[in-house]
Structure 1
Amino acid sequence: MGLSAKNLRGRKYLWHLCLVATTFWVGEIYDPAAADGSQVISAYDGWWYERFGGCDGVIEDGVCQTEPRTAENGFFPTSMTPKQNPFYLDLPFDDVNNDAAFAQRGRIPWADDPGYAGNLENREFSYMKNRWVQLQYKGSTCYAQIQDAGPAEYDDVDYVFGDGNTGPKSTRFNGAGMDVSPAVVGCLGFTELNGTQTGVSWRFVDDVDVPDGPWKTIVTGSGYDWSSGGPAAK
């Protein structure tokens, strides 16, 4: 039986402690030759760039670049108005497109919750997209929604849904266990604007337990969509 919203409040997820995070942003193209080298699209949205509202940063010489973010404007981009939540991240579990991850969707803790139950065999439904994650770094706490999968791995079920003691299986990007957006980089106070940051901890959190903050100015609600009909409303 699915859990009610009342019962969901207070569900405790395990912390994943002292990991490496790297940065990414909507509109970034870091390797045009790689199948996963563009953030114009995401694992869950073939129209990510359009739905977000464009480059999550600044365009310099025709290239979408990241930029520093500050609390003065809620860590939002300075040169555009996003249509979706600029606080986003990915984790290495693509529950729709990766066959190994798809087969493990039953391990997702909220798989039987209202709004999710009954979709285990549905290839047009993601259990991961829009889920909230709490992140901490050197005393700062921020929240973000999952909007993509990676880095480097896409079926790392033991890390993402394990006992909290299993690290990422990927050794790329200094063994990074997540990519985070420029808003998260600014909110947590990373020393690297566009690189890797060690010492980041994270855990899942249910939406009813997400406190008010700049991460709730816009909450992304669009589901999985790789249709060819063009972007719909958020």
Structure 2
Amino acid sequence: MNSFSSYRSGIWSAALGLSALQCAHANMLWDKLESEHQHNLEGQRESFDDIRDPYRVPPKVKIVLEGPNAWETFDYSWRRNIPVTVFWVGEDASQNNPVHNHASSWDPNWVRNFGGVDDPNRRNGYFPAGFVPRQNPFYIALPYNDVARGGGRHKPEASRVIRWFWRAAKAPGQSVCHNRWIAIHFGKKVCYAQWKDCGPFYTDDYNYVFLGKSPKPNRNGNAGLDISPAVRDFLGVKSGQQVSWKFVEVDQVREGPWSDWLLPQS
């Protein structure tokens, strides 16, 4: 037994009053868990493209960032005075909505998977009238897609600007933004909703979404956040009005009508 194992055995014995045999079993379990963890990291390294330097030096290593705070809960900042627009699952294309919402940036069968059209004018409380949605009716869109056109890989800046990227990335081209939670503040209320689509208008505005800049100019009053009918009704907000929003972790989402869909994020 090496010095570290002996030290660890002493910790087991002192803390838990274990016998020598029980300490040996505990050490074996510890070693097995560490081996599995390293194997998992190696699998992640192999799944991502080589990281090359700007001078085209051949790559020497593939890395997965895992510091001492790899699983920390981030303290995100509020983005204030952001104009909103209302959008919905199944919305047809129009002058102010140039791309239909029958599909989302991450779900080609969004209407079917949601359960129908989330008609903003025919409501049953926070639900669309006529059916119970299969997905969270509290959803939003932000103008960034972390997956490159055609799928199969992330955009080159994604790992740099998305704070949770290395914690959440599972495979090349699998979004780490889809289903993320945000908090939205308007008046005296705070609503929680999930990131389900990209927009308004843009899918590349990472300077606004992640780096604190203003939204890119657009013909919807420079709107920087699309909100669902359920979010609209909970907050009592109208298109063109300004809200504050920020990213939140799952364990920071407070109980509310969105809670039935409180599932892990990407």
Which residue, 197, 216, 220 being the options, matches 1:173? 220
Matching residue of 1:216? 259
Compute the displacement of 1:79 (Å). 2.1
Compute the displacement of 1:98 (Å). 4.5
Residue type matched to 2:200 in 1? P
Matching residue of 2:143? 92
Which residue, 83, 88, 91 being the options, matches 2:134? 83
Matching residue of 2:156? 103
Which residue, 110, 115, 129 being the options, matches 1:48? 110
Residue type matched to 2:143 in 1? P
**Higher RCO, 1 or 2 (CA under 8 Å, sep at least 6)?**
1
Tell me how far apart the structure 1 counterparts of residues 199 and 85 of structure 2 sit (CA, whole Å): 10
RMSD of the alignment, in Å?
A: 2.5
Compute the TM-score of the two structures, normalised by the length of structure 2.
0.67
Matching residue of 1:142? 191
- How many residue pairs match? The answer is 196
Compute the displacement of 1:222 (Å). 9.5
1:205 aligned to 2:248? yes
| Structure with the bigger percentage of helix | 2
| Structure with the bigger percentage of strand | 1
1:144-178 residue CA offsets vs partner (Å, 9 max, x unmatched) = 0000001111111110011x3x2101322110001
Q: CA 1:205/1:155 → structure 2, altered by over 3 Å: closer, same or farther?
A: same
Tell me how far apart the structure 2 counterparts of residues 89 and 98 of structure 1 sit (CA, whole Å): 21
Tell me how far apart the structure 2 counterparts of residues 118 and 83 of structure 1 sit (CA, whole Å): 25
5+ long unaligned stretches in structure 2:
1-65
Tell me how far apart the structure 2 counterparts of residues 188 and 69 of structure 1 sit (CA, whole Å): 15
Tell me how far apart the structure 1 counterparts of residues 87 and 262 of structure 2 sit (CA, whole Å): 19
Contact 1:98 1:154 in 2 (8 A): no
* SS of match in other structure, 1:187: helix
Matching residue of 2:176? 127
5+ long unaligned stretches in structure 1:
58-65, 224-234
Residue type matched to 2:192 in 1? Y
Residue type matched to 1:19 in 2? I
Contact 2:180 2:265 in 1 (8 A): no
Tell me how far apart the structure 1 counterparts of residues 100 and 109 of structure 2 sit (CA, whole Å): 12
Matching residue of 1:23? 86
1:177-196 correspondence runs (5 A): 177-190=224-237, 192=238, 196=239
Could you say which structure has the larger radius of gyration?
A: 2
Compute the TM-score of the two structures, normalised by the length of structure 1.
0.76
Q: CA 1:19/1:140 → structure 2, altered by over 3 Å: closer, same or farther?
A: same
Compute the displacement of 1:220 (Å). 6.1
Compute the displacement of 1:139 (Å). 1.6
* SS of match in other structure, 1:84: coil
